[in-house]
């Protein structure tokens, strides 16, 4: 694999990680009603918390995620989605 091919592979890998982080946010919000921590994301995807932070920053810059409190991972929200926790029905 030459230098250009390696660079292209790194870009593809980075895009995959970004997508997985975004999807993890969606699933986590849906299940718990609030954001996952960077640590939880990192452990689930087997990447570093720093990598998570970099990708979350990218997602915020792209307008897919938003936050009113930068640096607080639990304050990140998915743009365009409103999640509400539904109480379980008793059978």
Confidence (pLDDT) at 41: 95
For residue 45, count CB atoms less than 10 angstroms from its CB and return exposed for 0-12, middle for 13-18, buried for 19 or more: middle
The helix/strand/coil state of 79 is coil
pTM: 0.80
Q: Could you tell me the mean pLDDT of each successive run of 10 residues in the chain, 91 residues long?
A: 82 89 92 90 95 94 89 83 64 60
**Per-residue pLDDT at 44:** 95
b or e along 5-15 (b: 16 or more beta carbons within 10 Å of the residue's beta carbon)?
eeeeeeeeeee
């Amino acid at each position: 694999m030459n230098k250009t091919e390696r660079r292209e592979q790194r870009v593809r890998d980075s895009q995959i990680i970004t997508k997985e982080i975004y999807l993890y946010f969606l699933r986590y919000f849906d299940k718990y009603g609030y954001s996952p921590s960077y640590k939880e994301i990192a452990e689930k995807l087997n990447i570093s918390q720093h990598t998570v932070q970099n990708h979350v920053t990218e997602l915020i810059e792209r307008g897919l995620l938003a936050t009113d409190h930068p640096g607080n991972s639990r304050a990140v929200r998915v743009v365009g989605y409103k999640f509400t926790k539904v109480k379980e029905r008793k059978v």
